[in-house]
Amino acid sequence: MADSKKVIAVIQAIGDKIIEEKDYLTELDNPIGDSDHGINMAKGFTEVKKKLPSQENNDIGTILKTVGMTLVSTVGGASGPLYGTAFMKAGMVLAGKEQMSFNDFLAAMDAAVEGVQMRGRSTVEEKTMLDAMVPALNAMKAAYESGQDSRTAIEAGAAAAEKGAEHTKEIIATKGRASYLGERSLGHQDPGAVSFTYMIQEISKNL
């Protein structure tokens, strides 16, 4: 499905998209967070992009772990540890692999979701990035198990993530800074769910 060079190209595309949407992601964070999600994520992926050229001869696991460690060390707030953990856990599953099958990708996504759940002590319906991640993973698994090819399955995942991110408008936040607002968090999208949606959309376009 993908080799190291392809994975680097996808991460490059994700970085470009996050940087492009920096202002919008920060705008989403204004009413319910620290008004810095887009700024922090763009800063992290700017550093990730600087490191990608040196990763070309590495296996996929090492590349993802490098992305994760870079995000942890450069992204402020909760997003750095959460996204960093997601990429590092995915990297552990793909350690030593020069090629990634779609089953490998699903296993890596499983580990990423588990990592975010553990690190954030959260689950779905709490107005977090998991409200996009979990539906995306479930949709990809369901599509692939029903005989769809990997591209169609990832497209199903991207659509489910978008729907999940949209659904966060209807959820009262119970985790993170937004939880202090209680019912006033209704009507606002979770910026983490939106940034993850951008990531899976870029994977869908580029993988």
Long-range contacts, 81-86 (Cβ 8 Å, 24+): 81/119, 82/116, 82/119, 82/120, 82/129, 82/192, 83/41, 83/44, 85/112, 85/115, 85/116, 85/118, 85/119, 86/112, 86/113, 86/115, 86/116, 86/133
| In the chain, % of residues over pLDDT 70 | 91
Q: What is the pLDDT of residue 183?
A: 62
Q: What is the pLDDT of residue 85?
A: 97
Q: What is the pLDDT of residue 175?
A: 58
Mean residue pLDDT of the chain comes to 91
- pLDDT tens profile 134-159: 999 999 999 999 999 999 999 999 99
Structure tokens at 186: 């209704």
- pLDDT tens profile 165-185: 999 988 776 656 555 455 655
Give alpha helix (H) positions in 36-187.
37-51, 60-74, 79-93, 102-120, 130-145, 150-167
Average pLDDT over residues 34-46: 91
Domains and CATH numbers, the chain: 2-206 (1.25.40.340)
- pLDDT tens profile 84-101: 999 999 999 999 999 999
Q: Is the pTM of this model over 0.85?
A: yes
How far is the C-alpha of 113 from the C-alpha of 91, rounded, in Å? Answer: 13
- In this predicted structure, the answer to whether residue 122 has a pLDDT above a threshold of 70 is yes
How far is the C-alpha of 86 from the C-alpha of 112, rounded, in Å? Answer: 4
